Amino acid sequence: MSYLVVVAHPDDEVLGAGATMYKLAQAGKEVNVCIMSGQAQARAFRPSDSELQSDTEHCMKMLGVYKVYTGDFPNIKLNTVPHLELVQFIEKAMIDCKATVVFTHHPADLNNDHLHTSLACQAAVRLFQRRTDIEPLEELLFMEVPSATEWSFNNAMNKFQPNTFIEVGKEAVDKKVEALSQYRGVMRDYPHPRSIEAITGLAAYRGAQSGCNYAEAFECVFRRVVLGE
């Protein structure tokens, strides 16, 4: 089984599933990351290109990520890119790593890049229905990204409704915070949602909500089970 986390920008993968990625890697699972806008040109307090690349590499190594697929699509401008190009980029990553479980953004996130990444990912995961040589998708899960998912004020769209909770424990939450701190200029002081206290508190709340020792929450929107295999 291969896992692929598809995100718009560097740091989204850690915010949404960092502790889960770490736990999976520690359990010997292959975890891969696909970043659509690897340069994040419009980011405030953005470091230089080489620094951002170094930050990403250090973060991925800390979480035990096997492979990273980095696109150069324009930051905060994914709505200007033909949908098919985004879909095909994700499909190539899925084919290469033989992904069977995919995590991505919730489509109601405030950030417009998150929306278009999610839409492209939803189209890409259907690839196994068109090609018999592709590993069938087992699960598609939406994740919550602090400072984006909770700001989904558009009542015309369904908001993030977690139905899957992965117990991660305090050690993995601490590793998530440590990994996120590798990205210069991303962490903030409390009460910002990207603060140590907020990230740890959310994991504690999701754990208490589901009877777990700290957890990350996801919304499973597709699950395929073949009995007898």
> Looking at residue 64, which CATH number applies to its domain?
3.40.50.10320
Q: Which residues of 179-196 are buried (b: 16+ CB within 10 A; e: fewer)?
A: bbbbbeebbeeeeebbbb
Q: Residue 156: inside a domain, yes or no?
A: yes
The pLDDT of residue 196 is 98
| Full residue range of the structural domain in which residue 33 is found | 2-223
Q: 104, 83, 125: which is closest to 224 by C-alpha? A: 125
Tens of pLDDT, residue by residue over 59-79, are: 999 999 999 999 999 999 999
Q: Residue 10: inside a domain, yes or no?
A: yes
Tens of pLDDT, residue by residue over 75-103, are: 999 999 999 999 999 999 999 999 999 99
**Matching residue, tokens 């769209």:** 157
Cα–Cα separations (whole angstroms), residue 71 to 68, 90, 199: 10, 9, 27
CB atoms closer than 10 angstroms to residue 142: 27
Q: Residue 65: inside a domain, yes or no?
A: yes
Indicate the range of 39-48, 64-73, 187-196 predicted with least confidence. 39-48
How does the average pLDDT of the chain come out, rounded? 94
Q: Residue 164: inside a domain, yes or no?
A: yes
pLDDT over 70 at 29, yes or no: yes
Q: Residue 112: inside a domain, yes or no?
A: yes
Q: Residue 32: inside a domain, yes or no?
A: yes
Helices first, then strands: H and E counts in the chain: 7, 7
The pLDDT of residue 42 is 53
For the chain, the domain total comes to: 1
Strand 215-223 relative to strand 139-143: parallel, antiparallel, unpaired?
antiparallel
CB 97 within 8 A of CB 127: no
Q: Residue 228: inside a domain, yes or no?
A: no
The pLDDT of residue 110 is 93
> By three-state DSSP, how is residue 31 classified?
strand
Q: Residue 229: inside a domain, yes or no?
A: no
